[in-house]
Structure 1
Amino acid sequence: MELSDIRKEIDTIDEQLLPLFMKRMDCAKKVAEVKKRDGTPVFNPVREQEILDRISAKAGEYGGAARIVYNTIMSESRALQHSLLGAGKDLRQRISAAPKAPRRTTNVACLGGAGSYSHDVLQALYPQAEPSFFSRFSDIFRCVEQRQADLAVIPVENSSAGSVSEVYGLLMQYCFSIIAAKTLGVHHCLASRTGRIADIRCVRSKDIALMQCSQRLATLQLPLSEISSTSAAAELAEKDVGIAAVCSESAAQQHGLKILEPDIQNADNNATRFVVISKEMCIPDDAQKISLCFNVAHTTGSLNSVLSRFAAAGMNLTKIESRPIEGKDFEYDFYLDFTGNVHDPKVLELLCSLEDELPRFHFLGNYCEMK
């Protein structure tokens, strides 16, 4: 046979498959009516597992592929049923009631002190706010929880050093709303009080900043010591001539340090992404980024089933991060970012169906991503 002949055969088969798929989805609508009448949950994991096992066995050498195809079909069937049954009533209400902007931005918490990168972002986003400085991320989250600050600015990932793991753990623990995000170009300098490398006996900075400058720092052959923030390192360098700080130029100026070397980061395009967290949800009309955290059943294909829903809805995933669940063996929470706006019916239906279906689901926010 020629390739053209085989393709004609495939087209014929596809023409037979599509009406059957549509007929199956029509059956899903009938199922939703019955489940609504009887108060039956949409998701029946036992029945779905039985179907997948049977299909996989019957498909022989194509068992794995058939399992994926049928898993996707059933996932889309559930999504349709959730939509018809008005899933996610609580989430719909919270989104509908959310204001477009935070009610108060009087006090904003961040890591470090004056001249830290977090402080730079805070000033760019909320120039009139009074900053509250902290040396630990956990204290920042606790401050927002206790309403001692209206908002907080926290770093979540760096283009060179990766994610800030502690922050992701706290995001999932507190489930605050993310109301804005900003990416800041990060340019580290090496600074000291005297401005002479010969006087330096130790280089200090935050761990992730030391990682971002590892190549240049290795050539200095000096001890490296971690501290809570780049601005705290600058403060120590101001007090001790033997300490050099890896910090921003603004932090160096703030503490009267002389810059030994500018731009010592490994990559010229080094950047850190910061998010603004709030205890209350707010969603601007032009929001274009959505963040979620969720848990899936500890079964084969469960994560793929969730991710396929985003693909089917045409959503572009921009990040997925996993964190082990404390007290569980090899089970994980997932943090996910994707582009979209909750005022788009497709997006809202997807979120509401996942909230009703997943063991644990938190909508973290729909916000603007600023450069």
Structure 2
Amino acid sequence: MTLEEIRTKINEIDDQLLPLLTARLDCGREVAAVKQKTGGPVLNPGREHEILDRMENRAGAYGREVRVIYAACMEASRSLQHRLLGSGEELRTLIQSAKDRLPSGGRIACQGAEGAYSHQAALRLFPEGELRFSHAFGDVFEALRQGTADFGILPVENSSAGSVTEVYDLILKYRFFIAAATTVKIDHCLAVPKGTRRGELKTVYSHPQALAQCSEYLNKNGLSAEPFSNTAAAAKMAAQQGGSIGVICSQQAAETYGLTILDRDIQNSHSNCTRFVAVCRDPVIPPDAQKISLCFSLPHTTGSLSGVLSRFAIHGLNLTKIESRPLADKNFEYDFYLDFSGNVHEADTLDLIAALYEELPRFSFLGNYRELEAAP
């Protein structure tokens, strides 16, 4: 057979399959009507696995392929049932009650010190904010929990050094909401206390992410890297302590603490950026929000992650990040953090999130927010 003849045959088979597929979805609609009366759950894992195993065995050499096809059919049927039943009522209520505007001010908690990149992010998102600096990332979350801060500014990802895993662990622990995000251009400097000469310099202090971002420069110049809590905090320490030590920090931090800049723009990548998020206790969802963050765990079944991700593909939603983090009190069990493009005011998107809310363990909606690109 020629390729065109094979394609013609495929079209004929598809014409026969379509009525059967829509009839199967009609059955899903009828199942939803029954469950609305009985209150039964949409997801029945035992029933699904029984069908998948049976069809895989009957399909012979095409068993695996047929299993994938039937899994997609059942994902679609469940999605339809959730929509008809209005699943996730608690989540829908939470989203409907969210504030629709980010304030320009408030009490803003940042990790680090004045002049840090988090300081720049805070000023960009909250130009009238009352900034309060904390020593550790966990202190920012505790300030939110205790009500002494309205928003917390935290770095979550760098374009060259990757995720800030400690922050993701804290997001998954506290389950606060992300209200906004922004990207800050990173231009690292090598700075020293006044009077320190280049030849005296042996050790450089900074946040581990900044040290990783400038690893090529440090190696080339034979400088030893020492981790510190924050780039600006390292600059402040160097100014107070003096001596033959250096720091990697922003120009703003160097100038704030009176340090001498020896070299500028020393990061490995000259397009280096860090993404910061604003975290709060109650959801804020502006009408033009374009990014959604979720976290959840998965049942211990083969293909569970693939099944969840396929639902986003079915809805035409673009995943921008997925991060897995181990559960501290479990062996080889994980929470997943996920970002994707979308707006919860769109019915299809809200229906998907509500369905996942009903089906997935430890599910949390973490926010729908605007993300500002890096300032020029």
Question: 1:35, CA displacement in angstroms?
Answer: 1.1
- 1:104, CA displacement in angstroms? 8.3
Per the alignment, residue 135 of structure 2 pairs with: 135
CA distance in 2, matches of 1:272, 1:64: 42
Query: Which residue pairs with 1:221 in the alignment?
Result: 222
Shift of 1:195: 5.4
> Which residue of 320, 324, 327 corresponds with 1:325?
327
Pair 1:103–1:146, CA change in 2 (3 A): farther
With 298-307 and 203-212 compared, the bigger mean Cα shift is at 298-307
Shift >3 Å, 4+ stretches: 102-105
Query: Which deviations, in whole Å up to 9, do the C-alpha atoms of 1:156-193 show, x marking residues without a partner?
Result: 00000000001111101111010000011101010102
Q: In 2, Cα distance between the equivalents of 1:63 and 1:281?
A: 45
* C-alpha contact 1:177 1:364 (8 A) present in aligned 2: yes
TM-aligned CA deviation for residue 128 of structure 1: 1.6
Residue 357 of structure 1: aligned partner: 359
- For residues 32 and 281 of structure 2, the distance between their equivalents in structure 1, rounded to whole angstroms, comes to 36
CA displacement at 1:124 relative to structure 2: 1.5
The answer for the alignment partner of 1:68 in structure 2 is 68
Q: Deviations over 1:273-307 (max 9, x none)?
A: 00000001111111010000011111101111111
**What one-letter code is carried by the residue in structure 1 that aligns with 2:182?**
K
> After superposition, where does 1:186-335 map in structure 2 within 5 Å?
186-193=186-193, 194=195, 196-238=197-239, 239-335=241-337
Q: Is the 8 A contact 2:104 2:125 kept in 1?
A: no
Please tell me whether the aligned partners of residues 156 and 274 of structure 1 are also in contact (alpha carbons under 8 angstroms).
yes
1:147 aligned partner: 147
Cα displacement string for residues 21-79 of structure 1 (whole angstroms, at most 9, x for unaligned residues): 11100110000011111121111000101111111111222211111111111011111
Conserved? CA contact 1:199–1:241, under 8 Å: no
Aligned equivalents of 2:104, 2:362: Cα separation in 1 = 30
* Structure 2 Cα separation of the partners of residues 148 and 198 of structure 1: 46
Cross-structure match for 1:57: 57
SS for the counterpart of 2:9 is: helix
Structure 1 gaps, min length 5? none
- Verify the 8 A CA contact 1:157 1:272 in the aligned structure 2: yes
> Contact 1:113/1:134 (CA < 8 Å) preserved in 2?
yes
Give, as a single letter, the amino acid of the residue that structure 1 aligns with 2:335.
D
* 105-114 or 181-190, which deviates more: 105-114
Deviations 1:186-239 (Å, cap 9, x if unpaired)?
010101023521121310000000000000001121221100000111112212
User: What amino acid is aligned across from residue 288 of structure 1 in structure 2?
Assistant: Q
Distance 1:328 1:163 in 2: 22
Could you give the per-residue CA deviations for residues 331-350 of structure 1, whole angstroms, max 9, x where no partner exists? 21111111111110011111
* Deviations 1:248-268, CA, capped at 9 Å, x for gaps: 000000011111100000001
Q: 2:20 corresponds to which residue?
A: 20
CA shift digits 1:121-163 (9 cap, x unpaired): 1112212211111121111111111111110110000000000
The whole-number CA distance in structure 2 between the counterparts of 1:338 and 1:183 is 16
Distance in structure 2 (CA, Å) of the matches to 1:134 and 1:127: 19
The two structures, once aligned, show a CA RMSD in angstroms of 1.1
Give 1:87's aligned residue: 87
Distance 1:367 1:253, change over 3 A: same
Unpaired runs of at least 5, structure 2: none
**SS at structure 2 position matched to 1:69:** helix
The equivalent residue for 2:369 is: 367
Percentage of pairs with the same residue: 50
Question: Is the contact between residue 195 and residue 260 of structure 1 (CA under 8 Å) also seen in structure 2?
Answer: no
Shift of 1:358: 1.1
Q: Give the drift of 1:357.
A: 1.2
Partner AA of 1:144 in structure 2: L
Instruction: Tell me, yes or no, if structure 1 residue 125 matches structure 2 residue 125.
Output: yes
Where does residue 97 of structure 1 map in the other structure?
Answer: 97
Contact 1:105 1:150 in 2 (8 A): no
Give the count of matched residue pairs. Answer: 371
